Amino acid sequence: MSVIFQTLRNKGKTYLFKKIINSTQSTCKCFQFRKSSDTPKKFISFEEVVAQRRAEAKRSIVVQVNSEASFSELYGYCSEYAAINGIHHYKNSAGENFMLIEFKSEEDLKEVLKSCTTHQKDMDVMALNSPFLWFRAAKGPKTKYLQPSIKLASVNGIDKIDEDKLFKELVDCETVSDQIQLLYDRTTLNDLGARLRYMVARQIESVLKSLYANIAVRPFGSSVNGFGKMGCDLDLVLTNIVNEDTCLQAGARLVYQAAGGAGAARHVGAAADALELRAAGAARVTRIPHARVPIVKFAHTYTDLDCDLCYNNMSGVYMSELLWQLGSLDVRVRPLTVLVRAWARAARLTQPHPGRWITNFPLTLMVLFFLQQKTSDGFVLPTLKNLVKRAGTEDIRVAEDNLNCTFLRDMNKLPADCYGQSTASLQTLLLQFFEFYSQFNFQDKAISINEGAPVRKPNSLPLYIINPLEQALNVSRNVSFEECERLITEVRNAAWQLDAGLDRQKGEDWGILALLEQRSTRGLKKLLRVGNSHRLVSVKDLFNDSDTRVPQDTLKSKLERLAPKTDKEVEQTVVQMKEQLGKEKEKKVQRLKFKNTSIASEVFRIRRDKIV
Ligand code: CTP
Ligand code: MG
């Protein structure tokens, strides 16, 4: 989670944002959108969704209860003070029960909070003003409350997915496309997951409001960009919600004095102190003040969220907006991306901690870039250049360091022939994705969603994915030569596996199931039984240094190859692969013919049997 502390440069967006948030309850744009009398819009904007979520959080509380059975009593108690919209139940990993209650309005919520009390016996405990409360057992005879007129909106609403059940459902799917869709439907961040993320943002915002004026704390990253899964981390940014335009338009003349000399690192320290003292549920607060973007990390125990809070990173929010918009343009974008992220996790290409490997964000850009390519029946997504070209004055956004983040925000204005041209199924797109990157010239070319076409690499870094909002930067500059090679090998393996699997009979490893097996831990059942017995390896990749795809030896790449590997598993895998290849040299070498001949030539592979 990251907090942004923005200077007064932002044009337009924050003004609109503030207007939406300040408008009373149901008059905000998103609710107008929901009215049945309105002409339905094809696309809702990111700002509308954010405004709706923030408004929801402002009229909600999270109450710790004894169990799911506390619902009737809690409903009865609260509805004596205010009208209730809905109640969701969940448990955290410590087995504690909570109910998120959404009231009809912010005013309703205020009425309820007036009734809140504090710990009476323990005078050392200071009650914290926050939307996280607990429901005390009643003293004396039980009060008879009104019976709930609604049902719980969810029970155990953020529980981990039952892998066995999911596995069975995936086995039973009719097509690979159905499998991809099912995986997306079952694992994507749900409504309660999103609500809780905005609740934490609201809580942190109210804590930091005691330090700063005119601020907002906003979620960004996978919590809001449409590609998040249940349990994903929460990235938060502390932003200034006032901009020059707002001040000037309002004719504001009284201006807050500011403290001089406090850089981002000091603000991060202050925020960390405030969280430790004043944020109920915040634990393991860790300051990382000297990173390029200073952050505070903490665990939020009531919601089971790992959070990163940063300052001055509005570009991260605009990036999330861009990803969200592209994901909303076509129904295939999010399921395909979620599958690719899951495959990369299973193949250990991505890891839970940062390092010399690719992460979900650049991987997502790779999927979007692929979807911009023209296949036989057209492309799926427009280029960012196209969205920039169509932007109006209402779309102007400037982030920190005068970074221009202007692009078309209202996708309803995008002509229909600019997207969704390809009619390919998810199954075809997935295969084409792996084939495309099996053949991609990583040595010379960079990936740019701005252009939608490969561009010349400005340096010899193994993987070059241009930051769409700051084109001089490579978002995958951390990726080492070995990790890039591993990515290419795994992409080729996946293309082979998927292609070969399509003709095979449906079994426990059919379709995407083979792609989702994890390397050393049990993922979806089969791993414990046979390991990765049918994973494939490219002979060419392992032994042929003259492979045109392998970057020429630079001093850096030589050093990287000589350097001791940190990832033990990679080392073991390479040793195993070499041993196996020794034994298998005489065995059948399979020649794979990709279906899409326009982008794929032939790749020689050897079957790597029985390697665990
Ligand atoms: N970001 C960015 N530039 C980068 C890295 C990240 O703008 N070089 C922004 C993106 O908006 C990204 C967000 O920061 O989505 C959070 O980054 P990260 O947590 O690494 O990625 P997520 O998309 O949140 O994916 P994950 O689920 O792995 O957290
Ligand atoms: Mg994240």
Q: How far is the CA of 222 from the centre of ligand 2 (A)?
A: 5
Percent of residues, the chain, with pLDDT higher than 70: 75
Q: Could you tell me the distance, in angstroms and rounded to a whole number, from the CA of residue 313 to the centre of ligand 1?
A: 11
* Residue 337 Cβ contacting ligand 1 at under 6 Å: no
Interval between CA 221 and ligand 1 midpoint (Å): 5
Structure tokens that stand for 187 in this block: 């694992």
Q: From ligand 2's centre to the CA of 221, what distance in Å? A: 5
In this prediction, residue 20 carries a pLDDT of 35
* Ligand 2 geometric centre to CA of 335 (Å): 18
| Ligand 1 closest atom vs CA 475 | 8
- For residue 403, what are the β-bridge partners? 399
**Distance from the alpha carbon of residue 69 to the mean position of ligand 2, in angstroms:** 34
pLDDT one-digit tens code per residue, 236-268: 999 888 665 565 566 778 888 887 766 778 888
CB of 102 closer than 6 A to ligand 1?
Answer: no
The domain tally of the chain equals 1
Q: In the block, which residue shows the tokens 């504090």? A: 118
User: Running DSSP on this structure, what letter comes out for residue 229?
Assistant: B
Q: Ligand 1 in contact with 475 (CB < 6 A)?
A: yes
Our mutation pick for probing the ligand 1 site, out of 229, 235, 338, 345, counting the most ligand atoms within 8 A of Cβ, is: 235
Q: Is 361 in the pocket of ligand 1 (CB under 6 A)?
A: yes
Evaluate whether residue 2 is within a structural domain. Answer: no
DSSP 174-217: SSHHHHHHHHHHHHB--HHHHHHHHHHHHHHHHHHTTT-SSEEE
The mean per-residue pLDDT over the stretch 389-395 comes to 96
Instruction: Give the ligand 1 atom nearest the CA of 308.
Output: 19
Among residues 355, 392, 594, 365, which one has the least CA distance to residue 496?
594
359 lines ligand 1 (CB under 6 A): yes
Cα(390)–Cα(407) distance, integer angstroms: 7
DSSP H or E run through 490: helix 481-503
- Helix, strand and coil content of the chain, in percent to the nearest 5, comes to 40, 15, 45
Q: Is residue 336 part of a domain?
A: no
Assigned domain for 316 exists: no
Average pLDDT over residues 53-76: 96
Q: Whose CA is nearest to atom 1 of ligand 1?
A: 316
**Cα 457 to Cα 442: distance, rounded to the nearest angstrom:** 9
CA of 7 to the centre of ligand 2 (A): 24
On the question of pLDDT at 60 being above 90, the answer is: yes
Place of tokens 């993320």: 197
| β-bridge partners, 133 | 63
For the CA of 473, the nearest atom of ligand 1: 8
C-beta of 316 in contact with ligand 1 (< 6 A): yes
d(CA 33, CA 272): 38
DSSP H helix total and E strand total for the chain: 21, 16
Q: Is residue 121 in some structural domain?
A: no
User: 481-503 vs 555-562: helix axis angle to the nearest 10?
Assistant: 70
Task: Locate 250 and state its tokens.
Answer: 């309002």
Count how many residues are written for the chain. Answer: 612
- Residue 226 tokens read as 């449409």
557-571 as b/e: b if 16+ CB within 10 A = beebeeeeeebeebe
Closest ligand relative to 360 C-alpha: 1
Residues ≥6 apart with Cβ < 8 Å to 585: none
- Tens-digit pLDDT profile for residues 290-337: 887 889 999 999 999 999 999 878 999 999 999 999 999 999 999 999
Question: Does residue 126 sit in helix, strand or coil?
Answer: coil
Query: Is 571 part of a structural domain of the chain?
Result: yes
Q: How many CB atoms lie within 10 A of CB 431?
A: 22
Mean pLDDT of the chain: 81
Instruction: Establish if 344 belongs to a structural domain.
Output: no
Full residue range of the structural domain in which residue 577 is found: 534-611
pLDDT 10s digits, 463-518: 999 999 999 999 999 999 999 999 999 999 999 999 887 776 777 788 999 999 86
pTM: 0.80
Does 606 reside within a domain?
A: yes
Distance from the alpha carbon of residue 224 to the mean position of ligand 2, in angstroms: 10
Q: How far is CA 525 from CA 162, 347, 483, 494, in A?
A: 12, 15, 27, 19
The protein residue with its alpha carbon nearest to ligand 1, atom 12, reads 221
Going by alpha carbons, the residue nearest to atom 28 of ligand 1 is: 360
Q: What percent of the chain has pLDDT above 90? A: 61
Check: CB of residue 540 under 8 Å from CB of residue 589: no
Establish if 194 belongs to a structural domain: no
DSSP state of 610: T
Residue 149: partners with Cβ closer than 8 Å, 6 or more residues away: none
Q: Is the CB of 232 under 6 A from ligand 1?
A: yes
